[in-house]
A and B are shown apart, each in its own frame.
Chain A
């Protein structure tokens, strides 16, 4: 992610000097990235927002330990990773084998997800909604509907198609979105 580093450092200095309003800048700059990072791993959007909130509160508390010059996005994603791990760990104890499976998957892909997050530029994320708007109708409906839970089946029924086709269309839509975000950034 590319952010205005000077503005970030100024905001951190402000917060550490007792002017906590400076933290607004950090929430504004990193809110979408942190929520996107968590939403890629969690199912319930309420949980995503709860966890994102916890991440920012923890970041506020630990702000004094952030080392200027380090990638702040990576630092705050480190906090987010801890929160997601703890979320999975607590869920694993009381939920079913599929939740444990998802937790294992999350661990296996952790490094790749961090690598992929580092590669996404901030401007690209900002253009995502614009890119969604440019998708062909069918793809846009699937992307806007989402596939969590039983939505894939509902979408397939509404579009008089199969679940497999919905998934393939969603996959292609993701590729188009990625290309669009990179193209407009260039």
Chain B
């Protein structure tokens, strides 16, 4: 056991104090050395399991206290059940959750699959397609954008919202961390968890609990923030409001004066700049002005940078693991590149680097992480990958900015590759596309040979819809050649499964990312396949990744 590991474990187990320099040293190694991190995790994980297993009947001090002391304390299940008796029965959530769309579309995809199968088998009566079931009809118009998310843990049961998501009227509950919400009225809210805030309209929000700093520029129009006892009205300045769990409420005039009234009263009063008031039974009383209690843009940005570095390092460690997977053929992680590079480095030896044609370097999922931006016509990345494949996984982290044409190419291999290049006369090409309605399409060439290629199209539900444009999405397609199954994934979840001919061979010798040259006939009709968005990771592996692998990779890679 090496010294660093021993010191870290001892410090973790409260058996040793460390000097600041040593702490920094160990933290640095933990961040940069994946093997060291894994060994430490194995150590503390086993330690935890041993502790838990050896005290198999846990003590539930809070429950026991609540139930009248330690004597004759109830067992684990009885303790939990006694506590649960005081809680309302949980119900299935009816509020809008964006992932319902995924689940709903998965159902639709199943029906699509059924229909396709039935089409292939005319003896079976055709099942009519299910009604559109993505739940998007339930979504009310957006009132704000979630502009920044810093070290956030969402409250239990809240959807895992991503930066850039549009927010409809409704509750936002943050357990930890800070979010920046930009309302369409121009008001900017910094909400620090734990907090519960209800966005009611672009001009109004209600803070039930937590801390909010509100910035109102000259452009902001008539915004007001309500609490259980107060109404704070926009005067074109910045203020902070906090409501404690016990119901204590304070308003701080961070910049300029603030107009405030007690709920239900017409009488208003002003709080001068750099002063604060708290609400008590007799009214608004003076209280010390403490601007440091509220989240500020500079501090939020600083913490955001730190969090981004941490997330990026965690993703990079797992991404590097994939490079050691012998099945990985192409892995463009877009890291360690300069803005002048004309090619994308392939992190594995099997395939070529990517030649950039027209696309430009831009920021990826995290600050400092590079990506390539495609702006439609002509732009693409070319790669060469010899050999043929019966099973494969394609994965891409992409930001779709628009789907303005019938079909947009994500990845395409050249149709009917020369048998001399593949050594297999029946090797087929593939096109992985996005349809204008947000459907993922996986087109497999029907048969290799002369003449215009024919395609079998496998469609996933329309998930890359406008509300997800501008967000980073993890798209994947997995062909399991032995089982004859093709599965498409969005953000780590399977959204469509199709039967394909087992054992059919794919050729990916000449690959194009982000574009596809139209045929002459298509060109005459103005057809364009150019991608309008950005890509900051692309992986191609010669094996079928499991759903669990893809889910984990999405979890570690999401911004």
Contact = CB atoms under 8 A, between A and B. Distances in A.
6 closest cross-chain pairs (CB), A and B: A40-B48, A62-B157, A39-B48, A36-B52, A35-B52, A36-B49
B93 A65 contact: yes
Contact of A109 (B5, B10, B30, B157): B30
B483 interface: no
A40, A110, A114 — most chain B CB neighbours (10 Å):
A40
Contacts of B15: 147-153, 163
Interface of B: 1, 5-6, 8-15, 17-18, 20, 23, 26-27, 30-31, 34, 37-38, 40-56, 58-63, 76-77, 79-81, 83-85, 87, 89-93, 97, 99, 103, 153-157, 175-176, 194, 310, 314, 317-318, 548, 551-552, 555-556
Nearest to B158: A65
A45 B49 contact: no
Interface residues of A, number: 86
Nearest to A67: B103
Interface string A23-67: 110011001100111111101011011101100111111111101
Given A115-B552, A118-B548, A98 B49 contact: no
A65 B160 CA distance: 12
A59 to B, nearest CB: 8
Contacts of A132: 50, 53-54
Given A45-B55, A112-B37, A177 B46 contact: yes
Nearest to A62: B157
B420 to A, nearest CB: 44
Main secondary structure of the interface of B (DSSP, over half): helix
Given A82-B154, A89-B176, 11 more contacts: A37-B48, A39-B47, A49-B60, A49-B61, A64-B91, A64-B93, A120-B45, A125-B49, A149-B13, A167-B1, A167-B10
A109 to B, nearest CB: 5
B6 A49 contact: no
B16 to A, nearest CB: 9
Contacts of A153: 15
Interface in A104-154: 104-105, 107-118, 120, 125, 128-129, 132, 143-144, 146-153
Nearest to A61: B90
A53 B42 contact: no
Interface in A66-100: 67, 71, 79, 81-82, 85-86, 89, 97-98
A3 interface: no
9 contacts: A15-B90, A39-B48, A43-B13, A45-B55, A49-B60, A67-B99, A86-B153, A146-B50, A167-B6
Contact of A128 (B20, B50, B60, B84): B50
Contacts of B157: 61-62, 64-65
